[in-house]
Amino acid sequence: MSVTNTRGEIILPSGVITPHDNVRFVTEQGSAGTLYFTADEHIKTGENVTFRYGGTDVFKGVVFKYEYGHEKLYKYTAYDMLRYFENKDTVEYVGMTASKLLLRIAKQYGFTTGEIEDTKYRIAARLEDGVSLYKIIDYALTLTSGAGFGEFVYYDDCGRLCLKRMTSLRCGTVMTPSVCTDFSITVSIDKNYYNKVKLVQTSGTGRHFFIREDMERIARDGVLQYYGRLSPQENGTSVAINLLNSLSTPKRSIVCTCTKGDLTARAGAVVTADFGDGAADYFCERAEHIFGSSYTMKLNLSAL
């Protein structure tokens, strides 16, 4: 959905206020959705806020921080439900899909859920001890993807925890030079690129290592190793092969600033871009929406 009306309002339990200056709504992979706004009114930490733009609810969350100075304007930072995924916990599960695991965590923590797609792949057994909810769910989704069941994205949709197949989250705007005031393209092996995978599995008979490597890429790039741990029930050979296949491609990324915002552009969505070298689909790593005298957005995209 594209929106051109630049009016926005902050809705509180006590009423509606008009923000000063720009309102920024940021979604980023692996982080909570964040709303930045400034207002005359004092809002306590922990208070629920909704940002509505052009008649559409864009964000629902909780104020976590505010600051102010002599001008008596309060600068607020609010996060959506995913902020609570920074909580650490111990979770053990057997024969459970990532979607069922997410529903289990949502029930335990009292999260409201929306559409949760069935990820289908049953994970043999996992013990996650003292790690964040992010890491628990992310690893379950990594195993699901590695087993060939597709890529899934979880996110907060205005107060509802959702899980969808990545291909069903698509931005409605194609990124081209005609809609972007600026763009830059980068090709890199600096982050999230590995040409060797080493996994360790501990069982009653000791420690076993599963190693897969791309010798051609190692000869060219040097050894860039991914290291991970497996539960005793996991198929180490299969996991290592799937991880190497998904991690051994150089990363192509685009940063673009758009003259017109589109609320379907969010972290986790698929965005089509064509900057003169052919149209291709990209994964949205980060989306920043700026609501002011006009509505614009800045996207960080990585090749699928």
In which residue ranges of the chain is pLDDT below 50?
1-5
Has residue 65 been placed in a domain? yes
Has residue 3 been placed in a domain? no
Total structural domains within the chain: 4
* Amino acid found at 262: D
- Domain final residue pick, 47, 80, 113: 80
CB 1 within 8 A of CB 262: yes
- 70 & 121 share domain: no
Has residue 52 been placed in a domain? yes
- 203 & 180 share domain: no
* CATH number of domain containing 48: 2.30.300.10
With a CB cutoff of 8 Å and minimum separation 6, the contacts of 219 are none
- 21 & 128 share domain: no
Task: Look at residue 273 and give its three-state secondary structure.
Answer: strand
Has residue 176 been placed in a domain? yes
- Domain final residue pick, 80, 110, 130: 80
- 204 & 224 share domain: yes
Has residue 232 been placed in a domain? yes
- Domain final residue pick, 247, 264, 282: 247
* Amino acid found at 296: T
With a CB cutoff of 8 Å and minimum separation 6, the contacts of 83 are 32, 61, 62, 64
- 94 & 155 share domain: yes
- 259 & 174 share domain: yes
* CATH number of domain containing 157: 3.55.50.10
- 174 & 271 share domain: yes
- 201 & 238 share domain: yes
Has residue 2 been placed in a domain? no
Q: Which residue shows structure tokens 């505010």? A: 66
The pLDDT assigned to 293 comes to 87
Long-range contacts at 226-229 (CB < 8 A, ≥ 24 apart) = 226/194, 226/196, 226/197, 226/198, 227/198, 227/199, 227/200, 228/197, 228/198, 228/199, 228/200, 229/199, 229/200, 229/201, 229/202
Listing DSSP states for 84-114 in one string gives: GGG-EEEEEEEEEEHHHHHHHHHHHHT--EE
- Smallest Cα–Cα separation from 167: which of 245, 282, 26, 28? 282
- 16 & 106 share domain: no
Has residue 42 been placed in a domain? yes
The pLDDT assigned to 120 comes to 97
| Cα–Cα distance for residue pair 64/268, rounded to 1 Å | 24
Distances from the Cα of 191 to the Cαs of 27, 186, 215, in angstroms? 20, 12, 19
Query: By residue range, what is the domain housing residue 216?
Result: 196-247
Residue 107 burial (10 A CB sphere; 0-12, 13-18, 19+):
exposed
- 183 & 274 share domain: yes
The pLDDT assigned to 5 comes to 39
- 184 & 286 share domain: yes
- 160 & 91 share domain: yes
The pLDDT assigned to 94 comes to 94
| Cα–Cα distance for residue pair 137/140, rounded to 1 Å | 5
Has residue 1 been placed in a domain? no
111: tokens are 């999260």
